[in-house]
């Protein structure tokens, strides 16, 4: 990112203090901004942030971390909750160019839901006011590969069982092609797993289903590409 002159930074800071910051600015989301946003506005904001991430023009590079930390110490007004994979190559806040206090992030290998994640989403939306629920899978997912190969390893075995329905649901591949060595098959399972998780969220949480039906939140699925950095939304 190009260097921003100090005078411009000061002027911008005064403007934001007086008129309030847009959701993608250097300052964190405020209560007023959160309440005024629609689910579509939040989704658009995240996708615009992802485009900045792809282009290498992150506003995060200019964030005053100390000021953001102190500003959010007494309260938070996140606009979205994102269920992501555990993978260290998917830094969710950075991928969407979001500041401290902007989004909730739940992480688990294979981005699958359970009661804990569902309860967290219900808190994030019904209690804390988030307007968007996103399930974010990613390319070359190790958990997906493990499920494809029927890996057995301690408690991971039970987690991978939650992904098996997505593996079984993907059609069009011979038995010999349904392994982690087949990149096309893995990619299809990644998408199917996201879609099934979105479906499970609606079926297993009456609170989230009702909020979505009332237009108060949106539930979407997406896949992050490790090479390009692009987040692609999936059809419902």
Measured CA to CA, the distance from residue 187 to residue 35 in angstroms comes to 37
| Of 193, 218, 23, 224, residue with least CA distance to 121 | 218
Tell me whether residue 225 is in a domain.
Answer: yes
Domain residues for the domain of 187 are: 6-233
- Is the model's pLDDT at 20 over the cut of 60? no
Which of the pair, 13 or 98, is modelled with greater confidence? Answer: 98
Tell me whether residue 113 is in a domain.
Answer: yes
Cross-strand partners of 232: 223
pLDDT of residue 15: 31
- Is the model's pLDDT at 38 over the cut of 60? yes
pLDDT of residue 176: 97
- Is the model's pLDDT at 186 over the cut of 70? yes
Q: Residue 101 in contact with residue 73, Cβ under 8 Å? A: no
Mean pLDDT across 28-37: 88
Q: What is the pLDDT of residues 111-126, one digit of tens each?
A: 999 999 999 999 999 9
Q: How many domains is the chain built from?
A: 1
- Is the model's pLDDT at 2 over the cut of 80? no
User: For 191, how many CA atoms within 13 A lie in the half-sphere containing its CB?
Assistant: 14
Q: What is the DSSP letter of 27?
A: S
SS3 of residue 209 by DSSP: helix
Tell me whether residue 161 is in a domain.
Answer: yes
Residue 158's CATH number: 3.40.1050.10
pLDDT of residue 24: 55
Q: Residue 109 in contact with residue 116, Cβ under 8 Å? A: no
**Terminus-to-terminus CA distance in the chain, angstroms?**
36
Q: What residue has token string 């108060």?
A: 216
Measured CA to CA, the distance from residue 87 to residue 146 in angstroms comes to 14
Tell me whether residue 184 is in a domain.
Answer: yes
- Is the model's pLDDT at 14 over the cut of 70? no
Tell me whether residue 127 is in a domain.
Answer: yes
Tell me whether residue 1 is in a domain.
Answer: no
pLDDT of residue 53: 98
Mean pLDDT across 24-39: 83
Mean pLDDT across 195-221: 98
pLDDT of residue 6: 39
Alpha helices for the chain (secondary structure H): 6-19, 31-36, 39-55, 65-72, 92-95, 115-122, 142-148, 156-161, 164-169, 183-204, 206-213
Tell me whether residue 162 is in a domain.
Answer: yes
**pTM for the full model?**
0.88
State the average pLDDT for the chain: 90
Tell me whether residue 88 is in a domain.
Answer: yes
Mean pLDDT across 69-74: 90
């Amino acid at each position: 990112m190009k260097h921003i002159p100090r005078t411009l930074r000061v002027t911008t800071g005064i403007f934001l203090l007086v008129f309030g910051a847009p959701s993608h600015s250097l300052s964190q989301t405020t209560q007023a901004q959160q309440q005024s946003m629609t689910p579509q506005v939040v989704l658009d904001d995240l996708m615009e942030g992802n485009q900045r991430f792809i282009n290498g023009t992150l506003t995060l590079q200019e964030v005053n971390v100390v000021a953001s930390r102190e500003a959010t110490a007494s309260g938070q007004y996140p606009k979205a909750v994102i269920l992501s994979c555990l993978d260290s190559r998917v830094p969710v806040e950075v991928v969407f160019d979001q500041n401290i206090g902007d989004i909730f992030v739940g992480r688990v290998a294979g981005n699958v839901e359970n009661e804990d994640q569902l309860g967290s989403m219900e808190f994030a939306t019904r209690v804390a006011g988030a307007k968007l629920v996103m399930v974010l899978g990613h390319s070359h997912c190790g958990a997906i590969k493990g499920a494809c190969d029927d890996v057995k390893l301690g408690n991971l075995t039970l987690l991978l069982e939650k992904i098996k329905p997505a593996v079984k649901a993907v059609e069009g591949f011979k038995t010999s092609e349904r392994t982690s060595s087949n990149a096309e098959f893995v990619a299809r399972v990644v998408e199917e797993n996201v879609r099934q998780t979105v479906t499970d969220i609606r079926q297993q949480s009456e609170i989230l289903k009702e909020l979505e039906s009332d237009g108060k939140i949106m539930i979407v699925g997406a896949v992050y590409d490790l090479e390009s950095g692009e987040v692609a939304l999936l059809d419902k």
